[in-house]
Amino acid sequence: NAGVTQTPKFQVLKTGQSMTLQCAQDMNHEYMSWYRQDPGMGLRLIHYSVGAGITDQGEVPNGYNVSRSTTEDFPLRLLSAAPSQTSVYFCASSYAPSTGSRQYFGPGTRLTVT
């Protein structure tokens, strides 16, 4: 049981480049989400999904796209990277909110945009 995996662990981009952060879970969780963590800001929700084919925006969605074609995968796309997107990104998964389930987090991706 690998849990939640994220790739890459580190990434440096130039302004304007695009990239996809990968996230996968093998626990058959319905709920998956992406957060960014910035100093003094805690974890802020970017996008989330309650099941395959269903996604919705969180608190800070601008500049990011997601899709969920399978239960297991939930990639996060940066369309045109900006220095303001320099952050640590976490993917998380859990059972449905109605269960009050805890979240399982991936190891995070440190992204630097120059």
Burial class (CB in 10 A: 0-12, 13-18, 19+), 102: exposed
- Beta-carbon contacts of 44 under 8 Å, excluding residues fewer than 6 positions away, are 35, 36, 37, 38, 58, 59, 60
In which region does residue 113 sit, left (phi positive, over 0), alpha (psi from -120 to 50) or beta (all else)?
Answer: beta
Q: Per CB under 8 A, which region of 17-25, 66-74, 75-83, 103-111 contacts other proteins?
A: 103-111
Contact call for residue 86 and other proteins (CB under 8 A): no
27 part of the interface to other proteins, by CB under 8 A? no
| Residue 74 binds other proteins (CB under 8 A) | no
Residue of 19, 27, 45, 52 interacting with other proteins (CB under 8 A) = 45
Nearer Cβ to other proteins, position 17 or 43? 43
Write out the residues near other proteins by the rule CB under 8 A: 31, 33, 35, 40-45, 48, 50, 56, 58-59, 88, 90, 92, 97-100, 102-103, 105, 107-108
